[in-house]
Structures are given as structure tokens and as C-alpha cells.
Amino acid sequence: MILVMGGAGYIGSHTVRHLLDNGYDVVVADNLIYGHREAVDERAKFVHADLLDRLSLENLFKNNKIDAVIHFAAFAYVGESVGEPEKYYYNNVIGTVNLLHAMLTHGVKKIVFSSTCATYGEPQYTPIDEKHQQAPINPYGRTKLMIEQIFADYERAYGLEHIALRYFNAAGCSADSKIGESHTPETHLIPLVLQAIGGKRKDIKVFGTDYDTPDGTCIRDYIHVEDLALAHRLAVEKLGTYNGCINLGTGIGTSVKEIITAAEEVSGKKCPTEYAPRRPGDPARLFADNTKAKEILGWQPKYTDIKDIIKTAWDWEINRKY
């Protein structure tokens, strides 16, 4: 049985469905602070648990025969992490130490972890490979880097088997629109653009049009959430033969203006757009070298056309369930 910590969240809930579709037994644990109970597939067992409540973790491992853990449970708002670092160090770092304690107490040594390209900080070159220096520029990125470092120490001391997946920009929703992206507050570009198109927001503010990129707006690597889900299953299946970190991105860069144009084409509607100043801490371009994911996991993204990714998000946006 696989324990998915944070399985009621955006990427977690898509991974849960993918695991179930591929024959795995799944127990989902979530504190439902940011997660959605409706996002959890009814084929999975659900347990209310919190990383900071060691008794709830202890019970989770006592009551379920867990073979491996996929750990998504984290706070992930970069801006909030700057204003409230304690919240991030407690939940993300201490919470993960608690989870590892419960795992090791019960003889569970396998973990796949949600890391992030935010651990690289300001890019020194692109595409970014896993050898790129790690110098995160905000507390959120630092919590994820610390956890990667904790894994290496636990591997040496306790034989932990670990893979940290460093995501670039997760995007899109399940192809059948059953589950999707729902954050409060929403800060991500694609859902905000679609909400502006759908009239739920006044407009989209483009943060900076004077970057050193072909159209002056920031370039990111948008990877479909179902491609992320697939990579998590492949990573679970690789645990024990490989320890370390793997980038997950398509390797394709798309600018903010290109996202808006693609969303207009997919929806057939105009996006009310305002140009605004740069957002602090945003590098001009970020995209992945995904060679390692292909070589080690045998992973290949199915979604490489940004319009196909946005189409799944638009289908969800116009008929969202939570």
C-alpha cells in the first residue's frame, strides 16, 4: 500500500488517481487545510492526519500496511513564506522529520518527495539540469532544499531510499475534468488567466514586460499535472535502485504573453490584460533539462503543446467542482 501524504491537494490528488488506475492500493492522509476532501478518489482510503501531530502519524503507520510514501504535504506560497517563515519551517521541515520518524519506526524506508525548481534560485544557465547550484532565494525554496539534504543524511544513517522530484510549473487538470486545480488564494498564472477570461476576475496583470526575453515577459516550463502523476508512480517503482533528485519539466519554455494568447485561442474569448511591474524574485527564464527523468524513470511527458495543457484547465474552470 502506498501512503500519499497531502493526497487531497492539486498534484497529490491527480497522483492518487493515477496510482489507483494502475492497480495500487492507496491511503491518503491530509490535514485538509489547503486540500479538498472532494478531490480524493473514493477508491482510496482517507485518513485525517497532520505532519505536526506525531500521534496521528503514528496511528497512520500502525493501522495501515504501508510499503512506500509519496510526500506532497507542504505549504507552497512563496510570498507567504517570506512573511511567515516559521509556518514554513515548522510544517515543511519539522513536519517531514516527523514523517520520517514515523516511517522508520515502522520499518518503512521508501519515500518520493515533491521538491521544486525553486531550490535552484536565480538560474545561472538554462536549461537547468540537476547539477545546477542550489541557492534558493526564499524560505519556501529553502525548506525544500533542507529536506533534500535531510534525505541524504538519513540514507547514510538509516538506509532511507528517496527520490526528490523537482517540479517546474505544474499546470492543467485531469483530462476528464473530474479533479483539477483549486487554490485559495490562487496565485498561478494559468488559472488566473482563465478566471479573467471567464469573467471571475477583472483582468490578468502581466508582471513585467521588460525582461530580456523575445516578447519581454517571463518564460516558464509548464508541465501537465498528469505527467507529474505518472512520474511519481515511476519514481516509486525505482526506489531502492536510485537515490537522489530528478527534474520534472517538459524542457519547453513558454512566455506569459504566449500563455495568454494560447488561453484566448483555447477559450475563443479575449483575456482582459493589464501590464504591471515585475514581481520581486521572478527570474526571466526557467526551464528544465529533463534528460535525467527520461533516462532514470523512463518518463516521457504526454503533454508538450501548451494549448493541450490549457484546454484541460479551461474544461475544469468552466465546470469546476470545488
CB nearer ligand UDP, residue 279 or residue 294: 279
The secondary structure of 19-38 as a DSSP string is HHHTT--EEEEE--SSS-GG
CB of 235 to ligand UDP, least distance (A): 21
Binders of ligand UDP among residues 19 to 48 (CB under 6 A) are none
User: Going edge to edge, which strands form the sheet with 161-167?
Assistant: 45-48, 26-30, 2-5, 68-71, 110-116, 161-167, 244-248
Residue 207 touches ligand UDP, criterion: CB under 6 A: yes
* Number of residues forming the site for ligand UDP (CB under 6 A): 14
The secondary structure of 115-164 as a DSSP string is EEGGGTBS-SSSSB-TTS--B-SSHHHHHHHHHHHHHHHHHHHH--EEEE
Residue 202 touches ligand UDP, criterion: CB under 6 A: no
Binders of ligand UDP among residues 80 to 109 (CB under 6 A) are none
CB nearer ligand UDP, residue 90 or residue 207: 207
Question: Could you give the string, one character per residue 150-189, with x where binding to ligand UDP holds by CB under 6 A and - elsewhere?
Answer: -------------------x-----------------xxx
Which stretches does DSSP call E strand in 138-243?
161-167, 169-171, 204-207, 219-220, 222-224
Residue 138 touches ligand UDP, criterion: CB under 6 A: no
CB of 219 to ligand UDP, least distance (A): 8
Residue 256 touches ligand UDP, criterion: CB under 6 A: yes
Q: Which of 10, 34, 120, 140 is catalytic?
A: 140
The answer to whether residue 89 is catalytic is no
Q: Which amino acid is at 84?
A: E
Residue 316 contacts residue 274 (beta carbons within 8 Å) = no
- Residues in touch with ligand UDP (CB under 6 A): 169, 187-189, 192, 204-207, 218, 220, 256, 279, 282
